[in-house]
Amino acid sequence: MPFSRSSHMRDKKSNVAIVTDSAVAFSAEQIDELGIFVARMEITIDGVTLIDGAKMELSGFYSNLAASESVPTTSAPKPAEYLAQIQQASEVSNNVLCVTVSAKLSAAHDAATVGAEMAVDQNPDLNIRVFDSGTAASSQALIVSAAARAANAGKSLEEVEAKASKVAKNVRLIAMLDTLRFIHRSGRVPKIAFWATSVLNIKPVMEFSVGKIGGIARPRSTKKALSRVRKEMARDLSGKKAHINVIHADAYENAESIRDWANQNFDCAELFVTQFHPFMGAHTGPGLVGASWWAE
């Protein structure tokens, strides 16, 4: 079943309705507050396929991943899933913006495009645009949040898409990896690099942003790695209106420490904590902690 929605959101009319996928990792309360529609991703681990959703079906994913010897697989929402969410969104507005995970990372964009075409075939009056966020997970969540707030403020489809585009160009995701074990297991890191990092207890700090994907530091402790994350945040956000999504992969205490620090040091228009979605976390493993952010 699709995510449930409260009656007041179902009855609400807007100039633009927003559809996305569950890689944003929003809670049921956030989904309801923003008034968005969410297509569900699928994760398979140890032969069991879990369909993601706001009911926290994946809440125990990282503990299962740590104990598993198999490499999990992830699947984008199917076109029929996007179609179902777009149909629900069309009950709110004939103007729909669908924000997807980067087309370079997932088949979600293609699936959403097919679902949108199916929806228009059924409802020719529907005006829908599929927007490639160029990002994923917590950065995608901030893009969706900005688009939803613009839509709820009565902006046009063109204005809402422009807002999404602006945030997509400016949002950054910086995170510390607790281990390279899971990236190595997926075949993305050579054995020698995994071995060296493990022996030296290096906690790589990575960036996952548009045009910037890769390592930015190799500190030799969690404390130093988190300090580097905070340094990057301060460089971008000090003295500005900040939008921050703190993320973690079963590392809640470290995430809360970043959230508390950010709340004390920045003028936050938006500050919340989400789990790093298994769509990416299946390859980075438990212990990851960091944040996505952009500044007005």
Q: In what order do the strands lie in the sheet with 42-45?
A: 48-51, 42-45, 73-75
- The DSSP code sequence of the chain is -PPP--HHHHH---S-EEEEEGGG---HHHHHHHT-EEEPPEEEETTEEEE--TT-TTTTHHHHHHH--SPPEEEPPPHHHHHHHHHHHHTT-SEEEEEES-TTT-SHHHHHHHHHHHHHHH-TT-EEEEEE-S--HHHHHHHHHHHHHHHHTT--HHHHHHHHHHHHHH-EEEEE-S-SHHHHHTTSS-HHHHHHHHHTT---EEEEETTEEEEEE--SSHHHHHHHHHHHHHHHHTTSEEEEEEEESS-HHHHHHHHHHHHHHSEEEEEEEEEPPHHHHHHH-TT-EEEEEEE-
Do 101 and 35 lie in a common domain? yes
Query: Which of 168, 202, 232 lies at the terminal end of a domain, its last residue?
Result: 168
Query: Which of 105, 135, 168 lies at the terminal end of a domain, its last residue?
Result: 168
Q: Distance of alpha carbon 160 from its chain centroid, rounded?
A: 19
Report the CATH number that the domain containing residue 181 is assigned in CATH: 3.30.1180.10
pLDDT of residue 116: 98
Say yes or no to pLDDT of 10 above 50. no
Give the domain extent around 146. Answer: 7-41+76-168
Say yes or no to pLDDT of 185 above 90. no
pLDDT of residue 264: 98
CA pair distance 106, 57, nearest whole angstrom: 21
In a domain, 53, yes or no: no
Max Cα-Cα span within the chain: 60
Number of domains in the chain: 2
pLDDT tier at 9, thresholds 50, 70, 90 = very low
**Averaged pLDDT score across all residues of the chain:** 86
In a domain, 205, yes or no: yes
pLDDT tier at 194, thresholds 50, 70, 90 = very low
The pLDDT of 183-195, averaged and rounded, is 49
Do 249 and 286 lie in a common domain? yes
Q: Are 38 and 85 in contact (CB under 8 A)?
A: yes
Q: What is the pTM of this model?
A: 0.88
In a domain, 61, yes or no: no
User: What pLDDT, in 10s, does the model give residues 94-119?
Assistant: 999 999 999 988 899 999 999 999 99
Do 209 and 155 lie in a common domain? no
The pLDDT of 272-296, averaged and rounded, is 89
The pLDDT of 56-72, averaged and rounded, is 73
Report the CATH number that the domain containing residue 163 is assigned in CATH: 3.40.50.10440
Say yes or no to pLDDT of 199 above 70. no
Query: Which of 134, 168, 202 lies at the terminal end of a domain, its last residue?
Result: 168
pLDDT of residue 216: 87
Do 34 and 139 lie in a common domain? yes
Q: Which residue type sits at 140?
A: Q
Per-residue tokens: 38: 């969410």
Say yes or no to pLDDT of 5 above 50. no
In a domain, 58, yes or no: no
What percent of the chain shows pLDDT beyond 90?
60
Q: Are 178 and 206 in contact (CB under 8 A)?
A: no
pLDDT tier at 164, thresholds 50, 70, 90 = very high
Among candidates 145, 138, 102, which has minimal Cα distance to 258? 138
Do 154 and 247 lie in a common domain? no
Among candidates 107, 165, 61, 237, which has minimal Cα distance to 245? 237
pLDDT tier at 53, thresholds 50, 70, 90 = low
Say yes or no to pLDDT of 288 above 70. yes
Do 29 and 151 lie in a common domain? yes
User: What pLDDT, in 10s, does the model give residues 131-148?
Assistant: 999 998 899 999 999 999
Do 111 and 247 lie in a common domain? no
In a domain, 232, yes or no: yes
Do 159 and 185 lie in a common domain? no
In a domain, 245, yes or no: yes
Among 7-21, 134-148, 190-204, the range scoring the smallest mean pLDDT is 190-204
Say yes or no to pLDDT of 187 above 80. no
In a domain, 64, yes or no: no
Q: What is the dihedral of CA 110, 74, 294, 273, to 10 degrees?
A: 140
